[in-house]
Amino acid sequence: MATTEEQLDRQRRIKRTTMWLALLALAFYFGFIYLSVSGARG
């Protein structure tokens, strides 16, 4: 059985990984729109 400290540590790691992955997804979303805007000739 995992100790409370281990559980808390796991919770922290889960939150951190989730946040980074969500940021990565947002970066791809806005990054591609930005690339399209900057690449437009008009």
Contact residues toward another protein (CB under 8 A) are 1-2, 10, 13-14, 17-18, 21-22, 24-30, 32-33, 36-37, 39-42
How near is the Cβ of 8 to another protein at its closest, in Å? 13
Distance CA 2, CA 5 (A): 8
Q: Which residues contact 2 (CB under 8 A, 6 or more apart)?
A: 10
**Considering beta carbons, is residue 5 or 41 the nearer one to another protein?**
41
Distance CA 11, CA 4 (A): 10
How near is the Cβ of 32 to another protein at its closest, in Å? 4
